[in-house]
Protein backbone atom coordinates (compact mmCIF):
# COMPACT_ATOMS: atom_id res chain seq x y z
CA UNK A 1 0.00 0.00 0.00
CA UNK A 2 1.41 3.37 -0.95
CA UNK A 3 1.87 6.22 1.49
CA UNK A 4 -0.79 8.15 -0.42
CA UNK A 5 -3.34 5.40 0.19
CA UNK A 6 -2.39 5.22 3.88
CA UNK A 7 -3.20 8.91 4.21
CA UNK A 8 -6.29 9.04 2.02
CA UNK A 9 -8.21 5.94 3.14
CA UNK A 10 -8.61 6.99 6.81
CA UNK A 11 -9.54 10.50 5.69
CA UNK A 12 -12.23 9.23 3.33
CA UNK A 13 -13.51 6.84 6.01
CA UNK A 14 -13.80 9.72 8.49
CA UNK A 15 -15.58 11.82 5.88
CA UNK A 16 -18.06 9.00 5.18
CA UNK A 17 -18.86 8.70 8.88
CA UNK A 18 -19.22 12.48 9.21
CA UNK A 19 -21.59 12.66 6.23
CA UNK A 20 -23.70 9.83 7.61
CA UNK A 21 -23.74 11.45 11.07
CA UNK A 22 -24.78 14.80 9.58
CA UNK A 23 -27.66 13.21 7.67
CA UNK A 24 -28.75 11.33 10.80
CA UNK A 25 -28.67 14.54 12.79
CA UNK A 26 -30.65 16.41 10.15
CA UNK A 27 -33.44 13.89 9.54
CA UNK A 28 -33.17 11.54 12.52
CA UNK A 29 -32.36 8.27 10.79
CA UNK A 30 -30.13 6.82 8.11
CA UNK A 31 -26.69 6.46 9.71
CA UNK A 32 -26.30 2.71 9.03
CA UNK A 33 -27.98 3.03 5.64
CA UNK A 34 -25.45 5.64 4.53
CA UNK A 35 -22.30 4.74 6.45
CA UNK A 36 -22.03 1.13 5.30
CA UNK A 37 -22.18 1.79 1.53
CA UNK A 38 -19.96 4.87 1.80
CA UNK A 39 -17.35 2.97 3.79
CA UNK A 40 -17.53 0.01 1.41
CA UNK A 41 -16.48 2.33 -1.43
CA UNK A 42 -13.12 2.68 0.29
CA UNK A 43 -12.65 -0.66 2.07
CA UNK A 44 -14.15 -4.10 1.59
CA UNK A 45 -17.53 -4.86 3.15
CA UNK A 46 -16.00 -7.19 5.75
CA UNK A 47 -14.14 -4.17 7.11
CA UNK A 48 -16.90 -1.58 6.59
CA UNK A 49 -19.60 -3.45 8.54
CA UNK A 50 -17.68 -3.78 11.85
CA UNK A 51 -16.50 -0.14 11.64
CA UNK A 52 -20.04 1.19 11.32
CA UNK A 53 -21.61 -0.37 14.45
CA UNK A 54 -18.77 0.89 16.62
CA UNK A 55 -19.96 4.39 15.72
CA UNK A 56 -23.67 3.75 16.31
CA UNK A 57 -23.93 1.59 19.44
CA UNK A 58 -22.53 4.15 21.84
CA UNK A 59 -25.78 5.73 23.00
CA UNK A 60 -28.65 3.49 21.95
CA UNK A 61 -30.68 4.02 25.12
CA UNK A 62 -30.55 7.66 26.21
CA UNK A 63 -33.23 7.10 28.88
CA UNK A 64 -30.90 4.67 30.63
CA UNK A 65 -28.25 7.40 30.98
CA UNK A 66 -30.62 9.89 32.60
CA UNK A 67 -30.61 10.22 36.33
CA UNK A 68 -33.93 10.13 38.20
CA UNK A 69 -35.14 13.47 39.46
CA UNK A 70 -35.68 13.71 43.19
CA UNK A 71 -39.05 15.19 44.09
> What would the pLDDT profile of 23-69 be if each residue is shown by its tens digit?
888 988 888 888 888 888 888 888 877 765 555 455 555 555 555 56
pTM (2 d.p.): 0.61
Domain presence at residue 69: no
Domain presence at residue 41: yes
In the predicted model, is pLDDT for residue 5 greater than 70?
Answer: yes
Domain presence at residue 61: no
Q: Which residues are within 8 A (CB) of 52 and not within 5 positions of it... i.e. 6 or more apart?
A: 31, 32, 35, 36, 39
Domain presence at residue 40: yes
Domain presence at residue 60: no
Domain presence at residue 17: yes
Domain presence at residue 14: yes
Distance of CA 4 to the CA centre of its chain: 23
- Find the angle CA(39)-CA(22)-CA(48) to the nearest 5 degrees: 15
The C-alpha atoms of residue 6 and residue 57 are separated, in whole angstroms, by 27
Range of the domain at 16: 3-53
Look at the chain and report how many structural domains it folds into: 1
Domain presence at residue 30: yes
Amino acid sequence: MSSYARAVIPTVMAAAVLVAAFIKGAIGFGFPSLATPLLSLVVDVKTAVPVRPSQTTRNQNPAKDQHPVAV
